[in-house]
Structure 1
Amino acid sequence: MPQTKSTAWVCSVPVATVWTAPEKVRSVDAENIAENPNINKWLQEMSREENSDLTNSNRIQTQLLYGEPVMIDRVVEGWAKIAALWQPCQKDERGYPGWVPMSQLKKVEALTELGYARVTANKAQLWTAEFKPLKTVSFNTLLPVKELGEFVRLQTPDGDAMIEADTVEIVAAYDRVPLGSGLDIARLGSEFLDLPYLWAGMSSYGFDCSGFTYNLMKANGVIISRDAVDQALEGFEIDQHTQDSWHIGDLLFFAYEEGKGRLHHVGVYYGNGLMLHSPTPGKAVEIIELAGTKHEAELCAVRRFTETENRD
């Protein structure tokens, strides 16, 4: 009997936002939920208050990158209730849950024989087979490989596409990226300095605090949960009171009420008492000195995800 080709639902736009519920969308979000969303325009048109409202009103949950697989539970009036299969969390054992416009999803043939191309550049250009511009995709986008060369041929929701080989890393699977060192994690994070914070952000258009740490770890071969509250329970526990025992690349977690209350933030230890993080709406990825800040008092956990601080 002929084999039946398996299929998967994937994100069909460079970045799709996963909403808490369809009714959480505002008029200012029209560019975000369009069939061909313009994330830059959406971010530029939002006022600072509207940007902060994404957080305060719990409007969005996370984001999907081009080609990222989802499981669809149901479709209601053009919206899909999904689980993001590559984003672990305690809310749903299958992956991060939420709502996405159906127009931003597409069913494709599941193809994994030659592995994936992971975008290592901040952003990279995809080309059609005729070398016409197709889409600009974010850092950490993973797409199935069809053919290697100076330009790598990829399977995408828009059909075959080409990408320059020096903008990607070829990996066996989304969770089989070569393991980096703590220094690799910190150095990669520093490439995003001054990138504006975005609540639920998971792309090089903007990260939230845990989206930033999730993506830095993923790019260095470690899959951790999407949210800081889950990340704080993973990896290896390090004594938070002994800074000399911290390694560059360890994750630092912070909670209200001087570390005793609700966990609300995560950053990357940068060495010498410094932290690299994506802070809050209105700010951008930065490196700060911990001493004398509210973070020093709010530190509640230090976790290690790669045993090697420096690459040999």
Structure 2
Amino acid sequence: MSREYIVRVPVATIWTNPEAPRKIDEKAVSYPLEMKDWLKEMTTEERRLLCDNNLVQSQVLYGQQVTVKEEKGEWFHVLVPEQPSSKDDGGYPGWLPKNQVISREKTDVTDTTASVAVTAQTAWLYEGTEPVLEVSFQTRLPLVNETEDWITVKTPDGDRLIKAADAEVIDSQEESENVNGEKLVETGAAFLGLQYLWGGMSGFGFDCSGFTYTIHRTFGITIPRDASDQARQGELVERASLKKGDCLYFAKEEGQGRVYHVGMYYGDNKMIHAPSTGKGIEVVEIGTTKYDKDYCTARRFW
């Protein structure tokens, strides 16, 4: 029988199986999590192997819910309901350490109309005047109270404070009404230079589809987690009719094979994207890249 759990680390990595983490990944499967140290200590080649050896599937943010399907030792096989996937109707599947989640029944995190979304690349949660946890962009937590300088939120660890400058109070009913392509591109541009991370879904690092997924989520739009699934949904847009914020998909065999990459149209035949391991988020002219010949389709979700 499935059970609901809440992520209690800033970013929980979803692994392909419990055997996937290497010695270098110990800080990524720990509690407390040492996210920045993990990323800093990995070489470019070690980062690349997360993809090449199919070690990592996705990530989940602090306070997000996962559904546990089964247990294996110190690991849970989970689904991420907020990340649609053709792999499972219940959400994106994979494995995470038990120590990085807490049973929903043991938390005070409840669903409310208003929630608080982190708008900074990363931001600190405070207990009193003490910074206690650095969380990611688009971490969403229920609102308790707000003043001019501080917002109080409910977390898996109890009530915490976040600087008002690092977050915004959102109403889920109004959210998607305020989006357009210009805003999507502007939001994405705030991450220029951020290093690519395979499976990345946070302000600590994105992969290509994690980037487009998260930018849309900022405005209350949920799109599939993977590029191949995204390419089959949304409104089809002809290449000659592209607008800023449209998602561009690229496939093997000069656009006829498997979709392997996604970027977001930036205007003037340019795109903003999370390219590959060893590179940061960038804006490139499509016609000058290897992707141009592999152009497959474009989709609009806004």
Distance in 2 separating the partners of 1:235 and 1:95: 18
Q: How far off is 1:221 after superposition?
A: 2.5
Aligned to 1:237: 236
Q: Which amino acid aligns with 1:183?
A: E
Moved more, 153-162 or 171-180: 171-180
Q: Is the 8 A contact 2:213 2:223 kept in 1?
A: yes
Alignment equivalent of 1:89, drawn from 85, 92, 96: 85
Moved more, 174-183 or 159-168: 174-183
Q: How far off is 1:147 after superposition?
A: 1.9
Aligned to 1:302: 298
Alignment equivalent of 1:131, drawn from 129, 132, 139: 129
TM-score, normalising length: structure 1: 0.91
SS at match of 1:294: coil
SS at match of 1:187: helix
Q: Is the 8 A contact 1:175 1:222 kept in 2?
A: no
Identity %: 40
Q: From the superposition, tell whether residues 30 and 283 of structure 1 become closer, same or farther in structure 2 (CA, over 3 Å).
A: same
Q: How far off is 1:160 after superposition?
A: 0.8
Q: Is the 8 A contact 2:79 2:92 kept in 1?
A: yes
Aligned to 2:45: 49
What whole-Å deviation, never above 9, does each CA across 1:150-194 have from its counterpart, x for those lacking one? 322111011110112232222234995553110001111111011
Q: What is the CA RMSD across the aligned residues, in angstroms?
A: 1.6
What whole-Å deviation, never above 9, does each CA across 1:7-49 have from its counterpart, x for those lacking one? 9511100011000001011111011001112111111111221
Q: How far off is 1:93 after superposition?
A: 1.1
Distance in 2 separating the partners of 1:42 and 1:175: 37
TM-score, normalising length: structure 2: 0.94
Q: How far off is 1:144 after superposition?
A: 1.0
Could you list the runs of 5+ residues in structure 2 that have no partner in the other structure?
none
Could you list the runs of 5+ residues in structure 1 that have no partner in the other structure?
1-6, 307-312
Query: For this pair of structures, how many residues does the alignment match?
Result: 296
Aligned to 2:188: 189
Q: Is the 8 A contact 1:171 1:177 kept in 2?
A: no
Aligned to 2:244: 248
Distance in 1 separating the partners of 2:297 and 2:88: 24
Matches within 5 A, 1:208-219: 208-219=207-218
Aligned to 1:147: 145
Matches within 5 A, 1:113-132: 113-128=112-127, 130-132=128-130
Alignment equivalent of 1:99, drawn from 95, 107, 110: 95
Q: From the superposition, tell whether residues 254 and 174 of structure 1 become closer, same or farther in structure 2 (CA, over 3 Å).
A: farther
Alignment equivalent of 1:62, drawn from 54, 58, 62: 58
Distance in 1 separating the partners of 2:281 and 2:173: 25
Distance in 2 separating the partners of 1:237 and 1:114: 32
Q: Is the 8 A contact 1:236 1:304 kept in 2?
A: yes
Distance in 2 separating the partners of 1:77 and 1:173: 38
Q: From the superposition, tell whether residues 127 and 164 of structure 1 become closer, same or farther in structure 2 (CA, over 3 Å).
A: same
Q: Are 2:203 and 1:204 aligned? A: yes
Distance in 2 separating the partners of 1:8 and 1:111: 13
Q: Are 2:73 and 1:74 aligned? A: no
